[in-house]
Amino acid sequence: MTHKLHNFILTLTIALAVPMMVQADNGLPVFTELAAKAGKAVVFISTERTTTGGDGQAELFRQQVPEGHPFREFFDRFDKFFGQPQGQPRKQLGQGSGFVITPEGMIVTNNHVINGADKVTVRFQNDKATYEAEVVGADQETDLAVLKIKIGHKLPTLALGNSDAIQVGEWVLAIGNPFGLDNTVTAGIISAKHRIIGAGPFDNFLQTDASINPGNSGGPLLNMQGEVIGINTAINAAAENIGFAIPSSQAKKIIAQLQQGKVVQRGWLGVTIQRVSDTQAKALGLPETTGALIASVGKGHPADKGGVKQGDVILEVNGHKIADNNELLQRIAGLAPGDKARLVLWRSGKRVKKTVILGQRGEKTMASMAPEMQKPKEAKAVLGMALKSITDQEAKALGLETTQGLLVVSVDPNAAAGAEGIRQGDVVIQANQQDVNTVKELEGVIQRDKKRGAVMLLIKRQGKNSFVALPLD
Alpha helices in 27-151 (DSSP H): 32-39, 56-63, 70-81, 111-114
217 is catalytic: yes
Are 259 and 146 a contacting pair, CB within 8 Å? Answer: yes
Are 341 and 269 a contacting pair, CB within 8 Å? Answer: yes
- What's the distance, CA 303 to chain centroid? 23
Measured CA to CA, the distance from residue 312 to residue 309 in angstroms comes to: 6
Q: How many Cβ atoms from other residues are within 10 Å of residue 136's Cβ? A: 16
Measured CA to CA, the distance from residue 204 to residue 145 in angstroms comes to: 17
Residues in the chain: 473
Q: Which of 143, 182, 203, 312 is catalytic?
A: 143
Query: In terms of C-beta density within 10 A (0-12 exposed, 13-18 middle, 19 or more buried), how is residue 275 classed?
Result: middle
- Nearest to 133, CA basis, from 146, 152, 116, 115: 146
Q: Which of 46, 112, 296, 426 is catalytic?
A: 112
473 is catalytic: no
112 is catalytic: yes
Are 144 and 256 a contacting pair, CB within 8 Å? Answer: no
Are 345 and 313 a contacting pair, CB within 8 Å? Answer: yes
Q: Which of 46, 163, 191, 217 is catalytic?
A: 217
Classify the C-alpha dihedral 204-208-213-219 as positive or negative. negative
Measured CA to CA, the distance from residue 471 to residue 149 in angstroms comes to: 55
Q: Which residues pair with 46 in a beta bridge?
A: 95, 121
- Give the alpha-carbon dihedral of 161, 163, 168, 172, to 10 degrees: 40
Catalytic residues: 112, 143, 217
